[in-house]
């Protein structure tokens, strides 16, 4: 389970986040929604220990990321919007590296890597270096790296950006499967169809703070809108106007 409470972060005069709070449950996909610059990526960066909150807390399975970064990150898999793959390592080596850094070794490590390779249908590319791979293949490697150690929690920053329909389908199926296995999944996305199909819960952020949370139906009801896109637009508009 992931909990963020009163998260705020300022860079000089820029208030990247002022009051973000959310809760992502186990066995559920929670989607963080918001316009560009609303504070989504800043929130995920705090959750993955890359930045320290000015105030508020980020907890992973009850462990405060700021107080115990390593303990919290052991229970997390992270998929960044920029894959950050190492061009001279093979796909399998990426998975082995991530698994080893999470404490796996020997037969357990090999089994974990083989499982991730099978799960992501990476057999054909597992022993290829990542340089020259297509965007879809790179997504598989980055995802494999995030889940190889079977973390109870997973965060994904815009995982479908730049993917073709085959890769999107594969990713969607994978996320559903991981959810059914009890994983807590927190992701960001701009694709409404994907959000509506996958999300068990939504958290809407605008102007650096949480403005709404609930299921798709609840968000639409609160906004008195017929569809999700209209609801998000309607709820975010005041905060977006104040930013402009």
Partner 1 sequence: MRAFTIAFWKEWTTATRERRELLSAFAYALAGPLMIALLITGNASDARQNGPDKWTLCEGSAAPAGLSAWLETQNFTRADDAAICLAVPDGYEAGLAGGTTVSLAIEADLNAAERPARRLKAALDSYARAIADDRLLARGVAPIATRPLAVELRNTSVVSVTAERLVGALVLFLICAPFFISQSTAIDTTAGERERRGLEPLLTQPVPRTALVLAKFAIAFVVGIVGTALTIALALVVIGKTPVAELGVRIALDMQTALVCAAMLIPLAAAVAALQVAIGLWARTFKEGQTYALLFAFAPVALGFGALFGGGGAIQPWPVMFEIAALKAPLLGAPWPDLAPWLVSAAISLGIAALALAASIWRLHDERLLAET
Residues of this chain that interact with partner 1 (CB under 8 A) are 11, 45, 48-52, 69-74, 76, 78, 80, 82-89, 93, 97-98, 100-103, 142, 145
Cβ-based nearer residue to partner 1, 97 or 225: 97
Cβ-based nearer residue to partner 1, 77 or 207: 77
Cβ-based nearer residue to partner 1, 28 or 89: 89
Min separation Cβ 43 and partner 1, Å: 14
Min separation Cβ 9 and partner 1, Å: 9
Count the residues in the chain. 244
Cβ-based nearer residue to partner 1, 104 or 220: 104
Min separation Cβ 210 and partner 1, Å: 22
Min separation Cβ 163 and partner 1, Å: 18
Q: Tell me how many degrees the CA angle 111-184-85 measures, rounded to the nearest 5.
A: 55
Region label for 29, one of left (φ > 0), alpha (ψ between -120 and 50) or beta (otherwise): beta
- The two beta strands, 2-11 and 55-60, are antiparallel
- Non-local (6+) Cβ contacts of 168 within 8 A are 160, 194
- Non-local (6+) Cβ contacts of 215 within 8 A are 199, 200, 201, 202
Coil, strand or helix at 227: coil
């Amino acid at each position: 389970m992931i909990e963020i409470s009163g998260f705020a972060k300022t860079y000089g005069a820029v208030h990247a986040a002022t009051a973000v709070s959310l809760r992502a449950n186990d066995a559920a996909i929670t989607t963080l929604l918001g316009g560009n610059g609303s504070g989504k990526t800043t929130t995920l960066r705090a959750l993955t220990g890359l930045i320290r909150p000015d105030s508020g807390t980020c907890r992973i399975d009850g462990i405060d990321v700021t107080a115990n970064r390593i303990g919290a990150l052991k229970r997390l898999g992270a998929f960044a919007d920029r894959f950050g793959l190492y061009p001279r390592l093979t796909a399998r080596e990426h998975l082995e590296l991530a698994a080893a850094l999470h404490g796996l070794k020997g037969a357990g490590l090999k089994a974990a890597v083989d499982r991730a390779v099978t799960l992501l249908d990476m057999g054909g590319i597992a022993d290829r270096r990542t340089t020259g791979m297509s965007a879809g293949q790179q997504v598989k490697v980055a995802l494999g790296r995030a889940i190889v150690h079977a973390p109870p929690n997973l965060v994904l920053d815009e995982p479908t950006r730049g993917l073709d329909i085959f890769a999107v389908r594969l990713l969607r199926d994978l996320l559903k499967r991981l959810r059914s296995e009890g994983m807590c999944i927190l992701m960001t996305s701009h694709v409404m169809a994907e959000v509506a199909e996958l999300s068990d819960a939504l958290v809407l952020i605008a102007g650096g703070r949480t403005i709404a949370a609930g299921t798709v139906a609840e968000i639409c009801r609160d906004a008195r809108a017929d569809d999700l896109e209209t609801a998000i637009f309607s709820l975010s508009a005041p905060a977006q106007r104040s930013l402009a």
